[in-house]
Structure 1
């Protein structure tokens, strides 16, 4: 799964890393982004040729869902295109969630040791996501996950779907709505580029969001 991540790159750094025209906004560095908060999301508004970065609630619950409907933070790559809950967003409301890395926990001696995972070159990663209009008028999103690969596989069975540079444009293309067409074009980030290390258990507290030391090796 993907339940925590860090984002401390500036808006201009993200725009440069994206390699696509982007209306950037000021971002506050966050080192322990947790579900149930507003997070930075890149998407292409309907009828607009340019990309925008805006805040969306990390929790996916469409406006048409019932009061007791779930509010998942993740959607699996295996079911996101076919599930009644997600498939409309997969076809028409795909987005990218920028991150400098994410956290996973490994069971060690009866305890869970947190790890920070990121690119070896420390460039931002672009996590594939979907978004929806919520009943309260805001927008909510979910991060797509896939089976863990490379170094991430040693920590957890799942990982966020991080896309390679050539897939960012097609993923955000509103004209690409067919699952098979996307499958032929979109590629995940090369697993060889992913590295990880153990970090402090201070990350276990969601409130610790401004502590830059959370990503330091334990």
Structure 2
């Protein structure tokens, strides 16, 4: 799954990684080393089919306006069901987004205690996580990050992982004219799992209120 991540790369680095036309956000990006659900997170999307790409804030919690205010607001959507589930399929076809991240956290149970690990690219380049978004009942856009079965070394710490896309898939993923799931499946591909690494970090990351650069340093 993906329930906590870090984003500390600045706008120029993200723009160089994305390689798509993108206006600079109105507010500077804050460096965040422990991003929890139920907060606004940075994402790249089109507000509508004809709108330019924008880097904006989306609420991390998906609940489309047509569902009202009582249904759950999941933070993840599985790749196995996102294109077919009634709750997600409209957003998958028309409202896809990318969530930039420098890495994410997972917890491993060791001797009855949960040890957090930080997972990221070996070259420390940003990750682009596939997501979907929809307007919530209050009018704010909310999103979910798509997950897939764990691949490569990620399987050492968790059974699932966020769907990180390779560089060639970023543009088609954001293309509003691509709506057919089979077409999307053939042109969008996940990042090579061999590029991912991980290491144990401080249990201080367990508290979402802790947010500092040393949270991603190897545990001593």
User: Under TM normalisation by the shorter chain, which class is it?
Assistant: over 0.9
Residue in structure 2 matching 1:157, options 143, 156, 159: 159
Q: Render the CA deviation track for 1:45-64: whole Å, top value 9, x for unaligned.
A: 32435310000100000111
Q: TM-score, normalised by structure 1?
A: 0.98
Structure 2 CA distance for aligned equivalents of residues 163 and 67 of structure 1: 31
Aligned with 2:79 (options 70, 77, 80): 77
Q: Compare 180-189 and 45-54 and name the one that shifted more.
A: 45-54
- Which of 89, 92, 95 is the aligned partner of 1:93? 95
Instruction: Map 1:134-153; keep pairs closer than 5 Å.
Output: 134-153=136-155
Partner of 2:131: 129
> Which has the larger displacement, 145-154 or 38-47?
38-47
- What's the TM-score, normalizing by structure 2? 0.97
Aligned length: 217
State the Cα distance separating 1:109 from its structure 2 match.
0.6
SS of the equivalent of 1:23 reads: coil
CA distance in 1: counterparts of 2:40 and 2:32, whole angstroms: 11
Q: In 2, Cα distance between the equivalents of 1:135 and 1:45? A: 16
The equivalent residue for 1:57 is: 59
**Which residue of structure 1 lines up, in the alignment, with residue 7 of structure 2?**
7
Displacement of 1:24: 2.2
C-alpha distance in 2 between matches for 1:90 and 1:48: 17
SS at match of 2:65: coil
Task: Pick one of 34, 45, 56 that aligns with 1:43.
Answer: 45
Aligned residue for 1:159, secondary structure, equals strand
* 1:67 shift after superposition: 2.9
**RMSD between aligned residues:** 0.8
Of residues 112-121 and 58-67 in structure 1, the stretch that sits farther from structure 2 once superposed is: 58-67
Mapped partners of 1:161, 1:2: distance in 2: 9
Matched with 2:108 is 106
Structure 2: how far apart are the matches of 1:16 and 1:151?
27
**Other structure's SS at 2:83 match:** coil
After superposition, the C-alpha distances for 1:149-196 in whole angstroms (9 at most, x for unaligned) are: 011110000000000000000000000000000111100000000000
Name the SS for the 2:183 alignment partner. helix
- The 8 Å contact of residues 78 and 148 in structure 2, kept in 1 or not, is answered as yes
State the 1:204 CA deviation.
Answer: 0.1
* Partner Cα distance (1:95, 1:49) in 2: 13
Whole-angstrom CA distance in 1 between matches of 2:124 and 2:50: 31
